[in-house]
């Protein structure tokens, strides 16, 4: 993997940040995957996923990044106001050589106590297809995954080594994600945070 390869597959990605591209390649062994992560370093330009020798490289769009930041801010306001201890790990690379799986989530969190593997991963979906994200998280042992797609959340909870869809978060059972989704879509981030904080303070049900 070289910078030339990346340029070949992502020629349009810098046009105002609206272009979102995905590239897949198979036959990538674990040392090659780790070498590629080292090559990218701390770059936020790409998200990398790995499962059983298949590598996925994604260049997130502007809207993708706006949504993921909005969700993170809203969630962190909720955790702060409810005095729930959390560790925000952002897009930290999660990987397990024995399970042949690795992922850089859009956002991820340890809730209650700090852990090697987060309790919650959040994925913003703008382009369909690709590596089986839930299979990666299952192999890594992430307790809960939220998918944000078409302006709504889908919640997956790990039970008996299988993800099950749930109407509510199990990690944060009092958080109404349907209600929170209304604030993700507000165009003014400051207004969204201000209104959301007021709702949390005035609403005793979540």
The candidate with the shortest Cα–Cα distance to 78, out of 181, 182, 197, is: 197
The predicted structure's pLDDT at residue 61:
87
Say if 148 falls within a structural domain. yes
The predicted structure's pLDDT at residue 115:
96
The predicted structure's pLDDT at residue 7:
52
Report phi then psi at 103, rounded to 5: -160, 145
In whole angstroms, give the CA distance from residue 149 to residue 128: 10
The predicted structure's pLDDT at residue 41:
78
Concatenating the DSSP letter of every residue in 1-22 gives --HHHHHHH-TTTTSTT---EE
Say if 108 falls within a structural domain. yes
DSSP 24: E
Q: Are 56 and 104 in contact (CB under 8 A)?
A: no
The candidate with the shortest Cα–Cα distance to 177, out of 202, 151, 195, is: 151
The predicted structure's pLDDT at residue 92:
93
The number of domains in the chain is 1
Query: Which CATH number goes with the domain that contains 195?
Result: 3.90.1570
In whole angstroms, give the CA distance from residue 188 to residue 200: 18
* pTM assigned to the model: 0.88
Say if 51 falls within a structural domain. no
**Would you say the C-alpha torsion 129, 132, 137, 140 has a positive or negative sign?**
negative
Say if 115 falls within a structural domain. yes
The predicted structure's pLDDT at residue 129:
76
Say if 82 falls within a structural domain. yes
Query: What CA–CA distances, in Å, run from 146 to 52, 54, 134, 138, 186?
Result: 23, 23, 10, 13, 19
- What's the order of all strands across the beta sheet hosting 94-96? 21-26, 54-59, 47-51, 101-103, 94-96
Say if 72 falls within a structural domain. yes
pLDDT per residue, tens digit, the chain (206 aa), is 445 445 544 443 433 445 677 888 999 999 999 999 998 877 667 899 999 999 999 888 889 999 999 999 999 999 999 999 999 999 999 999 999 999 999 999 999 999 999 999 999 998 877 899 999 999 999 999 999 999 999 999 999 999 999 999 999 999 999 999 999 999 999 999 999 999 999 986 67
The predicted structure's pLDDT at residue 158:
97
The predicted structure's pLDDT at residue 14:
37
Domain that holds residue 167: 62-202
Say if 181 falls within a structural domain. yes
**Do β-strands 54-59 and 86-88 pair in parallel, antiparallel, or remain unpaired?**
unpaired
Strand positions, DSSP E, the chain:
21-26, 47-51, 54-59, 86-88, 94-96, 101-103, 107-111, 120-124, 144-149, 152-159, 162-166
Say if 27 falls within a structural domain. no
DSSP 176: -
């Amino acid at each position: 993997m070289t910078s030339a390869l990346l340029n070949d597959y992502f020629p349009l990605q810098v046009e105002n940040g609206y272009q979102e591209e995905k590239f897949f390649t198979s036959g990538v062994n674990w040392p090659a995957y780790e070498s590629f992560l080292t090559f990218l370093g701390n770059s936020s330009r790409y998200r990398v996923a790995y499962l059983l020798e298949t590598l996925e490289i994604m260049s997130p769009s502007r809207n993708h990044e706006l949504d993921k930041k909005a969700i993170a801010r809203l969630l962190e306001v909720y955790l702060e106001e409810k005095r729930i201890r959390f560790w925000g790990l952002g897009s930290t690379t999660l990987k397990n050589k024995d399970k042949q799986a690795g992922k850089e989530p859009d956002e991820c969190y340890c809730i209650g106590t700090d852990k090697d593997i987060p309790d919650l991963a959040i994925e913003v979906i703008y382009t369909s297809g690709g590596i089986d994200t839930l299979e990666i998280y299952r192999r890594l042992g992430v307790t809960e995954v939220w998918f944000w797609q078409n302006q709504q959340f889908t919640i997956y909870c790990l039970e008996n080594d299988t993800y099950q869809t749930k109407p509510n978060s199990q990690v944060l059972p009092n958080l109404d994600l349907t209600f929170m989704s209304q604030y993700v879509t507000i165009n003014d981030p400051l207004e969204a945070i201000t209104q959301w904080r007021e709702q949390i303070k005035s609403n005793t049900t979540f």
